[in-house]
Amino acid sequence: MVALPGSFETFHPVITFTWFACAIVLTVMATNPFWTGCACAGAAAFLLTVRGRAGWKLILGMALAFIVLLLANGLFNPQGRTVLFTYFGRPYTLESVLYGTQTAGMFVAVMLLFGSYDRVMTADRFTYLFGHAMPAITLVLTMVLRLVPDYLRKAKQIASARDGIGKGAAESGFGGRVRHGSAILGALTTWALEAGVVTADSMRSRGYGTRKTRTQHARYRFGARDVVMLAVLIVCVGLAFAGVFSGASSVDFLPRIAFPPVTGFSMLSFLAYAAFMFTPFVVDAGKRISWRSSISKI
Amino acid sequence: MAQFDIQDLTFAYPERDQRALDGVTLQIERGSYVCVCGLSGCGKTTLLRHLKTVLAPCGQTTGTVLFEGRPLQEVPLADQAQFIGFVMQDPDAQLVTDKVWHELAFGLESLGTDPRVMRLRVAEMASYFGIQDWFHKDVGELSGGQKQLLNLASIMAMQPSVLVLDEPTSQLDPIAAADFLNTVRKINVELGTTVIITEHRLEDVFSTADMVVVMDQGRAILHGAPQKVAQALHERQSAMTFALPAPVRVFYGVAPTRSSQKSAWEERAVPTQDVQEPIPLTVREGRTWLLSYVDAHELPVRSLPDEPVLDRAQEGAGQKPAVQLKDVWFRYERAAPDVLRGVDLEVPQGELFALLGGNGTGKSTLLKCLCGICKPYRGTVRVLGRRLAEWKSGTLFHGGLAMLPQDPQNLFVKKTVRLDLEEMLPDVSRSERDVRIAQVARLCRVEAQLDQHPLDLSGGEQQRAALAKVLLCEPQVLLLDEPTKGIDAFFKRTLAEVLQGLVRSGVAVIMVSHDVEFCARYADSVSLFFDGSVVTTNTPRAFFAMNSFYTTAANRMSRHVFANAVTDEDVIELCRG
- For the question of whether the overall pTM of this predicted structure is more than 0.90, the answer is no
Please state the separation of Cα B395 from the chain's center in Å: 34
pLDDT single digits (tens) B191-237: 999 999 998 778 889 989 999 999 998 999 999 999 999 989 888 88
Give the integer Cα–Cα distance in Å for A196 and A173: 34
The better pLDDT of the pair A133, B529 is held by B529
Q: Do residue B99 and residue A142 have CB atoms under 8 angstroms apart?
A: yes
Percentage of chain B with pLDDT > 90? 52
Given 3.40.50.300, 3.90.550.10, 3.20.20.100, 3.40.50.1100, which CATH number is that of B4-241?
3.40.50.300
Is some CB atom of chain A closer than 8 A to the CB atom of B373? yes
Amino acid at A98: L
pLDDT single digits (tens) A70-87: 889 888 888 888 888 888
Is the Cβ–Cβ distance between B453 and B414 less than 8 Å? no
Task: Give CATH for domain B322-562.
Answer: 3.40.50.300
Please give the mean pLDDT across all residues of chain A. 87
Is the Cβ–Cβ distance between A132 and B109 less than 8 Å? no
For residues B357-361, give the mean pLDDT: 80
Assign B385 to helix, strand or coil: coil
Distances (CA, A) of A164 to A49, B164, B369, B501, B564: 45, 38, 10, 22, 38
Is the Cβ–Cβ distance between B525 and B322 less than 8 Å? no
> According to the model, what pLDDT value does residue B273 have?
41
Is the Cβ–Cβ distance between A188 and A151 less than 8 Å? yes
Does residue B258 carry a pLDDT above 60?
no
Does residue B135 carry a pLDDT above 50?
yes
Count CB neighbours of A18 within 10 A.
18
Is the Cβ–Cβ distance between B184 and B163 less than 8 Å? yes
CB-neighbour burial class of residue B226 (10 A; exposed 0-12, middle 13-18, buried 19+): buried
Which residues, 6+ apart, have CB-to-CB distance to B406 below 8 Å?
A: B364, B481, B482, B485
The better pLDDT of the pair A143, B368 is held by B368
CB-neighbour burial class of residue B337 (10 A; exposed 0-12, middle 13-18, buried 19+): exposed
Read off the pLDDT band of A3 (50, 70, 90).
low
Is the Cβ–Cβ distance between A217 and B122 less than 8 Å? yes
Percentage of chain B with pLDDT > 70? 94
Is some CB atom of chain B closer than 8 A to the CB atom of A214? yes
Please give the mean pLDDT across all residues of chain B. 87
**Chain A, nearest residue to B369 by Cα:** A164
* B326 φ/ψ angles, rounded to the nearest 5 degrees: -125, 115
Taking alpha carbons only, the member of B188, B121, B189, B128 closest to residue B158 is B121
Which of A165, A183, A201 lies at the smallest CB-CB distance from B469? Answer: A165
**Best of B54, B396, B398, B481 to disrupt the A interface by mutation (most A CBs within 10 Å)?**
B54
The better pLDDT of the pair A130, B188 is held by B188
Read off the pLDDT band of A149 (50, 70, 90).
confident
Is some CB atom of chain B closer than 8 A to the CB atom of A213? yes
> According to the model, what pLDDT value does residue B315 have?
57
Read off the pLDDT band of A241 (50, 70, 90).
very high
Does residue A235 carry a pLDDT above 70?
yes
Of chain B residues 25-84, which have a CB less than 8 A from chain A? 52, 54-55, 76-78, 81-82
> According to the model, what pLDDT value does residue B211 have?
95
Least confident of A235-239, B161-165, B322-326, B547-551: B547-551
**Best of A201, A217, A220 to disrupt the B interface by mutation (most B CBs within 10 Å)?**
A217
Contact residues on chain A for B372, CB-CB shorter than 8 A: 163
Q: Do residue A164 and residue B373 have CB atoms under 8 angstroms apart?
A: yes
Give the integer Cα–Cα distance in Å for A118 and A137: 19
Does residue B577 carry a pLDDT above 90?
no
pLDDT single digits (tens) A254-298: 778 888 888 999 999 999 999 999 999 999 988 888 878 776 666
> According to the model, what pLDDT value does residue A53 have?
86
Does residue B163 carry a pLDDT above 80?
yes
Is the sign of the CA dihedral A154, A159, A164, A167 positive or negative?
A: positive
For residues B423-444, give the mean pLDDT: 90
Rg (CA), chain A: 26
Least confident of A113-127, B326-340, B522-536: A113-127
Which residues, 6+ apart, have CB-to-CB distance to B513 below 8 Å?
A: B354, B355, B356, B480, B482, B483, B484, B519
Amino acid at B299: L
Read off the pLDDT band of B486 (50, 70, 90).
confident
Is the sign of the CA dihedral B500, B506, B507, B509 positive or negative?
A: positive
> According to the model, what pLDDT value does residue B268 have?
38
**Beta sheet of B70-71, edge-to-edge order:** B21-28, B4-12, B60-67, B70-71
Read off the pLDDT band of B343 (50, 70, 90).
very high
Distances (CA, A) of A281 to A33, A44, A268, B81: 21, 9, 20, 47
**Chain A, nearest residue to B120 by Cα:** A217
Query: How many helices and strands (H and E) does chain B possess?
Result: 20, 20
Is some CB atom of chain A closer than 8 A to the CB atom of B399? no
* A42 φ/ψ angles, rounded to the nearest 5 degrees: -60, -45
> According to the model, what pLDDT value does residue B260 have?
42
Assign A298 to helix, strand or coil: coil
Where in chain B is CATH 3.40.50.300?
4-241, 322-562
> According to the model, what pLDDT value does residue A129 have?
84
Contact residues on chain A for B409, CB-CB shorter than 8 A: 191
Give the integer Cα–Cα distance in Å for A27 and B38: 68
> According to the model, what pLDDT value does residue B494 have?
87
pLDDT single digits (tens) B292-340: 888 888 777 777 777 766 666 555 555 778 999 999 999 988 888 899 9
Assign A78 to helix, strand or coil: coil
- Which DSSP state fits B140? G
Read off the pLDDT band of B269 (50, 70, 90).
very low
The better pLDDT of the pair B85, B240 is held by B85
> B92: distance to nearest CA of chain A, Å?
8
Beta bridge partners of A253: none
Give the integer Cα–Cα distance in Å for A20 and A50: 14
Distances (CA, A) of B159 to A219, B163, B183: 21, 10, 15
Does residue B259 carry a pLDDT above 70?
no
pLDDT single digits (tens) B92-132: 899 998 889 989 999 998 898 998 899 999 999 999 999 98
Is the Cβ–Cβ distance between A119 and A46 less than 8 Å? no
